[in-house]
């Protein structure tokens, strides 16, 4: 199972230089878990940068994976992760979801660097 964090989805949608890194997990919808909070983050970013139609198209692609809503179990685990790694709320929810579903988390977000179960690739300069 795989989870791609919001930065990975946005890189993929923008066809950025790291898009091939994220295309591996994103092109296998049967193995893709999508935390609901990533839908929020991606929709908001695309809406801010483009328009609602493009944001809805991005979400439609995300919905091809298995969407996981925020539950009490994920919330409690995320709070522990947030304190342990001094991580922002959304990132800790994404990591908690990955751990709960025994999924690999794919990201370019430096908050996840060096954490077990994470495939991290550093952002290209200027991105």
Dihedral sign, CA of 62, 107, 2, 85? negative
Could you give phi then psi for residue 120, rounded to 5 degrees?
A: -110, 135
Token representation of residue 28: 């296998």
Q: Locate the domains of the chain by residue range.
A: 2-107
Instruction: Give per-residue pLDDT as tens, 12-48.
Output: 999 999 999 999 999 999 999 999 999 999 999 999 9
Burial of residue 106, with CB atoms counted within 10 A of its CB: 0-12 exposed, 13-18 middle, 19 or more buried: buried
pTM: 0.94
Residue written as tokens 């990591």? 95
Determine the length of the chain.
127
Q: How confident is the model at residue 124 (pLDDT cuts 50, 70, 90)?
A: confident
Please determine, for residue 85, whether its predicted confidence score (pLDDT) is greater than 70: yes
Please determine, for residue 61, whether its predicted confidence score (pLDDT) is greater than 60: yes
Please say whether the beta carbons of 93 and 35 come within 8 A.
yes
Token representation of residue 56: 């809805």
| Beta carbons within 8 Å of 4's beta carbon, 6+ residues apart | 12, 22, 25, 26, 32, 38, 105, 106, 107
Domain 2-107 coded CATH 3.30.70.260 = no
């Amino acid at each position: 199972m795989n989870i791609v964090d919001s930065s990975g989805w946005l890189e993929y949608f923008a066809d950025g230089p790291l898009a091939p890194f994220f295309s591996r997990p994103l092109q296998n919808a049967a193995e893709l878990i999508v935390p609901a909070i990533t839908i929020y983050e991606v929709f908001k970013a695309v809406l801010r940068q483009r328009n609602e139609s493009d944001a809805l198209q991005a979400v439609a692609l995300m919905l091809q994976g298995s969407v996981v809503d925020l539950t009490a179990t994920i919330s409690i685990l995320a709070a522990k992760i947030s304190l342990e790694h001094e991580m922002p709320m959304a990132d800790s929810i994404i990591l908690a979801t990955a751990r709960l579903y025994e999924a690999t988390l794919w990201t370019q977000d430096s908050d996840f660097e060096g954490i077990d179960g994470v495939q991290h690739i550093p952002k290209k300069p200027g991105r």
